[in-house]
Amino acid sequence: MRRKMCAAAGAAAAVALLAGCGGQAATGDGDSPYNGSEIEGAFTLPSTEFTDNKGEPYELKADSAGTYTAVFIGFTNCPDICPTTMADMSQAAGMLDEAERDQFRTVFITADPERDDPELLDMWLGSFDPSFVGLTTDLEKTDATAEELGISVSRPEDRSGDYQVDHGGQTLLFDPEGDSKVMWSYGTEPEKIAEDLETVIGEDA
């Protein structure tokens, strides 16, 4: 859990990440009311059909409606970035009070559906927080979803042996209507995430 980036570098990286996002309509700058970048309405959860980690159907927009939903795209063979991010989200959720936590959910979408089936996702996510939702679908819908959310995904042509999937390291927070609110870059401290969650949930309370 040790992090290379200190808090200041993390904040700088958040800005750098935005700049690197290729013209996505993210507005995070010094004016952001959050520790993360403000991305108010820049992205909307698509109505894509997934299968969740319990093997049940999960329609991303409809089944996330009514809660604040953090979305991260990764894969379980990812040894470093993905587990660290999930651990951070779990720690952040643990800092919320019960009422806030009831309005918040973390969704992990696999960028590697050929290897990550619901069973593996369930086992993997259970290491962090049994309440986390893991979603899988086919490659085409996976990539379309990633594109809708402005998260880059790139996997090798040859996927026969051990391979790694490159993916954006950011986590996006959506409001209960499925509109984006905040983006946290990789390495954002759990306290900062929790603060933002409290702010966002408090805004509408």
Partner 1 sequence: MGARGTAVAASALGALALAAGCGPQEPRIEAADATVRVPLNPDVTSAYLVIENTGGADDTLTGVETEAADEVQMHESVEKDDGTTGMEERAEIPVKAGETVEFASGGLHLMLMDPEELDAGETVPLELHFAESGTVEVQAEVEDVMGEGGQDDGGMDDTGHQDMDHEDMGDMDHGDMQH
Residue 65: CB minimum distance to partner 1, A:
28
Residue 173: CB minimum distance to partner 1, A:
18
**How far is 109 from 64, CA to CA, in rounded Å?**
13
Residue 160: CB minimum distance to partner 1, A:
14
Among 127, 131, 159, 177, binds partner 1 (CB under 8 A): 127
- Between 64 and 135, CB nearer to partner 1: 135
Q: Does 1 bind partner 1 (CB under 8 A)?
A: yes
Q: What is the DSSP annotation of 166-195?
A: EE---EEEE-TTSBEEEEE-TT--HHHHHH
- Between 16 and 62, CB nearer to partner 1: 16
Residue 74: CB minimum distance to partner 1, A:
9
Q: Does 109 bind partner 1 (CB under 8 A)?
A: no
- Site for partner 1, residues 67 to 106, rule: CB under 8 A: 76-77, 79-81, 83-84, 86-87, 90-91, 94-95
Integer angstrom CA distances of residue 193 from 50, 97, 98, 203? 26, 14, 16, 15
Q: Does 27 bind partner 1 (CB under 8 A)?
A: no
Q: What is the DSSP annotation of 91-114?
A: HHHHTS-HHHHHTEEEEEEES-TT
Q: Does 184 bind partner 1 (CB under 8 A)?
A: no
Q: Does 7 bind partner 1 (CB under 8 A)?
A: yes
Residue 205: CB minimum distance to partner 1, A:
22
Of 108, 113, 146, 114, the residue nearest 127 (C-alpha):
108
Residue partners of 49: CB distance under 8 A and separation at least 6: 57, 58, 59, 60, 137, 141
**How far is 115 from 196, CA to CA, in rounded Å?**
33
Angle at CA of residue 162, ends 157 and 166, nearest 5°: 55
Residues engaged in binding partner 1 (CB under 8 A): 1-7, 13, 16-17, 20-22, 76-77, 79-81, 83-84, 86-87, 90-91, 94-95, 120, 123-124, 127-128, 151-154, 162, 164, 166-169, 186-187, 189-191
